[in-house]
Structure 1
Amino acid sequence: MPEGYPEIPEDVPQIFRAAMRRLAASVSIVVAKGDDGPVGMAATSITSLTVDPPAVLVCVNRATSLHALLVPTAPLSVNLLSRHQQDVSAAFGGGVPREQRFGIGGWYEGGNGLPALEGAQANLCCVIDAMLAYGTHSIVIARVLEARISDDVAPLIYQDGAYL
């Protein structure tokens, strides 16, 4: 730990994890291009960053198979799930083997060549601008090159291990 920073009490990580489970978040599927086809994962750590240029911030655990595919200038697809897409979230959250995940839900080819999910709240075709390692994760800044939105506003929300 850098000099001058206070020590973190031993019980804080466990309490912090419990606190963050109380934070309701929209569920998205993040997709990158792999050697054998697309690779995707469910994520709740996504937020808008700027409008000029249009960009999102995505936090990805460095232990995931998706992380190895994330490098500056690589394409990235971000699909904000609709309330009726719990099956897609569960599949990409690890409930289905990686090679079978894109069989759940309807997918089409987005503007950056990656799969985009039909019926999602929004689909963002992006390119990775920058990455910053922090703890167990990388903070990925992705520039949005194309966006598509649904007419209905009914996001899939996840909190404390369940969908709301």
Structure 2
Amino acid sequence: MAESPDLTADPADVSVGFRGAMRRLASGVAIVVARGDDAPVGMAATSITSLTMDPPAVLVCVNQSAGIHPSLSPGCPISVNILSRHQREVSAAFGGAVARERRFEVGQWAVDQHDLPMLDDAQANLACTIDSMTPFGTHSIVVARVEAVRLSESVEPLIYQDGAYL
């Protein structure tokens, strides 16, 4: 096979091209919650995927500059709340549209087995414990074991692509 004439290897062009390529990748949206110093902290995330079924585990990529990052370490509990299509306002709040101390005022929240906020009408809720963290570039790759799951009746995920909800 011949190399594509449009493929670039110039580092500056690769960075710009990579950003454009990732904007084309549609992703589900979740809210990741951890214990902060004084109160729970959370962030909207699209970089979450299942890792293994045995043991049940997820992989979450978190920017090291994110407000939640200092609250993450092996052994710490987190909740992962996979959003439904009607929860755009929750995603926006945890994406930065609402001050950190007021984010949990958006949506209906209960607590999980670790006493962490869990979004009541999410597509799914995962109660997890962080197993490991690996720094890579600007992010940390967080591996969390899933200890409990709650599923909603319907399957209507909130999808994010190219800076907008689908």
TM range (shorter): over 0.9
2:34 aligns to what SS in structure 1?
Answer: strand
The counterpart of 1:88, out of the listed 87, 90, 94, is 90
When the two structures are aligned, how many residues end up with a matched partner?
Answer: 158
1:11 aligns to what SS in structure 2?
Answer: helix
Q: Is the counterpart of residue 71 in structure 1 residue 73 in structure 2?
A: yes
Q: Is the counterpart of residue 136 in structure 1 residue 138 in structure 2?
A: yes
Alignment partner, residue 162 of structure 1: 164
The counterpart of 1:146, out of the listed 137, 148, 154, is 148
Compute the displacement of 1:150 (Å): 0.5
Amino acid at match of 1:80: I
Alignment partner, residue 51 of structure 1: 53
What is the distance in 2 between the residues matched to 1:109 and 1:70? 18
What is the distance in 1 between the residues matched to 2:20 and 2:61? 19
What is the distance in 2 between the residues matched to 1:8 and 1:140? 30
Alignment partner, residue 107 of structure 1: 109
2:80 aligns to what SS in structure 1?
Answer: strand
Residue ranges of structure 2 left out of the alignment (5+ in a row)? 1-8
What is the distance in 2 between the residues matched to 1:51 and 1:146? 13
Residue ranges of structure 1 left out of the alignment (5+ in a row)? 1-6
Alignment partner, residue 3 of structure 2: none
Compute the displacement of 1:112 (Å): 1.5
Alignment partner, residue 5 of structure 2: none
Amino acid at match of 1:73: G
What is the distance in 2 between the residues matched to 1:10 and 1:22? 19
RMSD: 0.9
Identity %: 65
Write out per-residue CA displacement over residues 85-127 of structure 1, whole angstroms, 9 at most, x where no aligned residue.
0000000000000000000000001111100001100000000
What is the distance in 1 between the residues matched to 2:95 and 2:20? 19
Amino acid at match of 2:47: S
Compute the displacement of 1:36 (Å): 1.0
What is the distance in 1 between the residues matched to 2:39 and 2:19? 33
2:114 aligns to what SS in structure 1?
Answer: coil
